Amino acid sequence: MRLIPTLTALVVMVALYFLVLERDKLLAFARGSDPDVELAQDAGQDGDAPAAATAESGASQVSPKAQVAEAAGAPGSAETPAKMGVVVRRSVAQPVDSAVILRGETQAMREVAVPAETSGVVLSEPLRKGAYVEKGQELCVLDPGTRFVTLADAKAQLSLAKSRIPESEARQAEAEAVLEQAKIDLNAAERLSEGGYASDIRLAGARATVRSAEAAVVSADAGLESARTGIESAEAQVAFAQKDIDRLTIHAPFAGHLESDTAELGSFLAAGGICATVIQLNPIKLVGYVPETGVGRVTLGSPASARLADGSTAKGEVTFISRSADPVTRTFAVEIQVDNPDMTIRDGQTAEIAIEAQGTLAHRLPQSALTLNNDGKLGVRIVDWEGIVQFQPVVVLRDDIDGIWVTGPTEEAHVIVVGQDFVTAGLRVDVTYEDTSDKEDQP
C-alpha cells in the first residue's frame, strides 16, 4: 500500500536534483545542444584569463566540465543578487478641505402615534393623512357614554361630604365645652376635699366626668377628620370623572402633518389605541454616522451642509454626537438640525453631509497602496533617499473617486504603490517612478 507514495517521492527527488544541481545541463538538453560545450562557452564568456590561457596552450586533457568548475571558483565570477523592483509615487501633501464627509438621511424632528387614554366609540369625522394640524387641534372625539352621570354622582357625594363638616365641628365644640366644665368641677371637688368638705366619692365622680369628656372630645375630633377625608375622597372622584371626560377629546400634541388618517367615524378605540400619527418637519434633522477616525474632528455647534438625492441643499449645525459607537459598524451617530419652513425636505431622504472641521495636510494615494505591517498596523511603505524601504503608519481621513486621503507621512514622501506587499522594512529596492520624467531624480 505504501509503494506508490515511495515511488512518487523518488520521482520528485530526482526532478528536484536535475532542476537545482543540473539545471544548466537540463536546459542545454532541452535546446538540443551538448551540455559540456555550452558550459565551456559560458565559462569563456565570463572573462576568466587563466582558464582561457590553459585552453589555448593545448591542454586538451582537461575536460570542459573541469574548466567550468575552475572558472566558477575564480575571483569576481559570482553575480550580485538582483534588487526587488517597485513602483513609487512621489507624493506631496496637500491641504484638504475642512470637512468631514458622511452619508445619512433626513428624519422628522418628532413623530408620535397619538394614543387614546380611554375607550369609546369615535364620533368625529376623520382627518385625512397629509393634512396639517395645529398644536391642540382636535383629532378624535369619543362617545362619553355614562361618564357625565358618573361625574354628577361624584359631585353629589362631594356636596354631602361638605354638609357634614358643620355638624362635626358643632360636636367638637360641644365636647370641648363639656370637658372644660368637667375640669372646673374636678378642681372644685379637689379643693373641698382638701378642707374636708367633700367626700372621696364626689372627688372620684368628678375625675370620671373629666375622663368621659376627654373621650368625647377625641371622638368629635375623629368625626371631624372623617368628614374632611370624605370631602377629599369625593373631590378625587369628581376630578377622576372630569379627567375621563376630558380624555374623550384627543388633541394634536404639536403642530405637524398627519402621517395617517385619524380613527374612522363609528370605530371603537380602546385605551392605548392609535388615533393618528403626527410628524413635525420644521425643523428637521439630518442623521449620519461618522467613523472612529473622524469623530474627533466633529464638535457640537459646527456648521454643516447637506446635498439631498434630488439635488437640493440644506444647511444647519450639529446638535448631537453619540457617546457610544454602534457595536456592528463602529460608527457614531451625528444629528444636524436644519430649518425647513416650506416643508420641501421630507422624512427619509438620502443626504450627503459635510461637517466643517479643522483643515489638515494629507496625501492622496490609491487605496491599493495601503498595507499592514507585522503588528497589524495600517500604513504605507516608502523609500528613503538611499532606496531603503520603511513602513509609515497612516490615518485615513476620507476617500473620493481619485483615491484615499491619509495623514502620517512627511510633507513629501516616496510611496510604493506597486510591490509594497513583497518588500519589508530595511530592504534595498530598485525604484521606478510612476512619472517617467522623475526617473532622473531617483534616490
Q: Which CATH architecture has domain 85-96+361-441?
A: Beta Barrel (2.40)
For helices 35-45 and 64-72, give the axis angle rounded to 10 degrees: 40
Domain extents in the chain? 21-77, 85-96+361-441, 147-246, 275-359
**Cβ pair 169, 217 in contact under 8 A:** no
Rounded CA gap, 311 and 116, in Å? 41
pLDDT value at position 37? Answer: 52
CB 203 within 8 A of CB 190: yes
Type of residue numbered 442? Q
User: Read out DSSP for 98-159?
Assistant: SEEEEEEEEEEEEEEEEEPSS-EEB-SPPPPTT-EE-TT-EEEEB--TTHHHHHHHHHHHHH
Name 412's Cβ contacts closer than 8 Å, sequence gap at least 6: 90, 91, 92, 93
To the nearest 10°, report the CA torsion of 188, 190, 196, 200.
120
Contact between residue 344 and residue 333 where contact means Cβ atoms under 8 Å apart: no
Chain position carrying cell 377625608: 229
pTM of the model: 0.52
Burial of 196 (0-12, 13-18, 19+ CB in 10 A): exposed
pLDDT at 429: 92
pLDDT in tens, the chain (443 residues): 467 778 787 787 877 776 676 766 666 666 665 555 555 555 444 444 333 333 333 333 344 333 433 433 434 444 556 688 899 999 999 887 768 888 999 999 999 999 999 999 999 999 999 999 999 999 999 999 999 999 999 999 999 888 888 888 888 888 888 888 888 888 887 777 777 766 777 778 888 888 888 888 888 888 888 888 989 999 999 999 999 999 999 999 999 999 999 999 999 999 999 999 999 999 999 999 998 878 888 999 999 999 998 889 999 999 999 999 999 999 999 999 999 998 899 999 999 999 987 778 889 999 999 999 988 899 999 999 888 999 999 988 777 788 898 989 988 999 999 999 899 899 999 999 986 444 444 44
β-partners of residue 400 are 403
Residue 46: the pLDDT is: 44
- DSSP SS3 for 87: strand
The Cα 151–Cα 143 span in angstroms is 15
What is the total residue count of the chain? 443
CA angle 419/421/427 to nearest 5° reads 80
Dig out the grid coordinates for 98 from the structure: 475642512
pLDDT score, position 57: 38
pLDDT score of 70: 40
At residue 58, the pLDDT reads 38
What is the dotted CATH code of the domain comprising 275-359? 2.40.30.170
The full DSSP string for 293-356 is TTGGG--TT-EEEEEETTS-EEEEEEEEE-SS--TTT-EEEEEEEE--TT--SPTT-EEEEEEE
**CA distance linking residue 347 with residue 200, whole number of Å:** 96
Would you state the cell numbers that stand for residue 156, as one nine-digit string?
353629589
Rounded-to-integer distance, Cα 118 and Cα 142, Å: 9
